[in-house]
Structure 1
Amino acid sequence: MGPSAGPEPNSVAVIGTARAAAEEGQRRRLAKAAWDCSGRAPHGRGWVGLPDMDVKGDVGGAWLWVSMSLAGPEEKLWAHAWRRLRSLGGYFLEQSTCILPARTEVIRDVRQLLDEARREGCAGQMLRISFTDRAVENRIIAEMNAAIDAEYAEVLDRLPAFFSELEYERKRGRVIYAEVEESEVDLVRFRLWMSRISARDYFGAPGGAEARAAVEAAAEELAAFEAEAMGAEASEPRGSAPNGT
């Protein structure tokens, strides 16, 4: 379920008027709808300003509007900020502006990012916002879920190679500890990958269950392979102890 539609006393009301269209065109219209028609910063018609230092705690159904400067020497810093915001699952309306669910952990991470940026002399702000048009909000949530599902699909595309590798080693008679260790490294990578995706899966993208089940199936297959390796090693004949004289 997405954030609640009703604005809170200290929130910014975002007036959404975008229609369904191609992704880039839709994002541009959403950005245009979110800003005051006069082109001013969000303190004009339809807005109630909220200083970013007042955003604290878990604000429930609200969203965050995060904007940073792209000017001059700050471009390198922006590349770092862009990666951080992408890793949080930011929905970008423009290159330097994104929205995120106002979850406690997201607020903490964005605040830290903005603090770092300001120490370098870069401009940035974080505002709490809520939508007055629930249809636009739902469309954004659907797009965010689709992006997350694409990431889950990538995990599912890569996992067959994991199973194939174990089967290949079985066929060539290399059910040994060295292969267990190698595949265990791959499994750790898959789990780390999944944990990063899950951390930005704010609305329960439908592909998550299948991806999680597939990774667990990989873990079970590796456990079976390890048991085979242990059994094979235990059945190997041991050298005779030297006779005493």
Structure 2
Amino acid sequence: MKTQNWLLLTYKVPPEPAKKRIGLWRKLKGMGAIYLQNGVCLLPKTDDHTRRLKIIENEINEMASDSVLLETVALDKAQEDKVVARFKADRDEEYAEFIDKCDDFDAEIAKETAANHFTYAELEENDVDLKKLQTWLEKIRKLDFYGATRAAEAQQRLQNCEALLDAYAQRVFEAHDENR
């Protein structure tokens, strides 16, 4: 078995100003870190994560706070599986939220179709919404280090949204005699 190495960051920052503490939390979550408890987070060891965590460690020190950055491994396979499961669970939560937004997108297209509202303005608005979904899924994928269970479902839902918008666009073009 190949051992998975992780980077473990522990830190303690003052509660005020909250803006700095929240900013730190957002950066770490934005990298895909999981929190084992308050002020203790974990990321897979990569050169990029090492570099970024060293920058964050420096920021923590500039807050007149304390941090320790370590490389670590799980004690055994069961512990490693537990950590990987936490990473997958975090991504699955994000995929679930993404899928909910795909449902909203589908409902919006259905509403406009039922109302025979085939305008370029509506098409443009829905195109912007689709681009947001595409960008969002790409961000989640970048943080999906271990292949969360809902990744394929999220990809399929995005493809459905793309097909739905293509069909709606065709109706808009037909309504404006673009293809005749």
TM-score, length-normalised on structure 1?
Answer: 0.66
| Counterpart code for 1:66 | L
1:187 correspondence with 2:130: yes
Q: Alpha-carbon deviations, 1:157-178, whole Å to 9, x = none?
A: 2212211211221222211111
Distance 1:73 1:166 in 2: 45
**Counterpart in 1 of 2:71?**
128
Q: Does 1:150 align with 2:150?
A: no
Letter in 1 for 2:2: S
Runs of at least 5 residues in structure 2 that lack an aligned partner in the other structure: none
If you compute each CA radius of gyration, which structure gives the higher value, 1 or 2?
1
User: Is it true that 1:69 corresponds to 2:12 in the alignment?
Assistant: yes
The Cα RMSD (Å) is 2.1
What's the % identity of the aligned pairs?
26
Quote the offset at 1:151 in angstroms. 1.6
1:4 shift after superposition: 3.1
- Residue 117 (structure 1) aligns with: 60
Larger helix share, 1 or 2: 2
Residues 81, 4 of structure 1: CA spacing in aligned structure 2 closer, same or farther, 3 A cutoff? farther
Structure 1 residues 164-221: Cα deviation after superposition (integer angstroms, max 9, x where no partner): 2112212222111111111112112212221222121110111101101111210121
Would the alpha carbon gap of residues 75 and 124 (structure 1) be closer, same or farther in structure 2, given more than 3 Å must change?
A: farther
What letter is aligned with 1:4?
A: K
**Equivalent pair of 1:4/1:62 in contact (CA under 8 Å):** no
Q: How many residues were matched structurally?
A: 179
Look up the match of 1:140.
83
Question: Residue 50 of structure 2 aligns with which residue?
Answer: 107
Once residues 184 and 109 of structure 1 are traced to their aligned partners in structure 2, the CA distance between those partners, rounded to angstroms, is: 34
Q: Is the 8 A contact 1:63 1:101 kept in 2?
A: yes
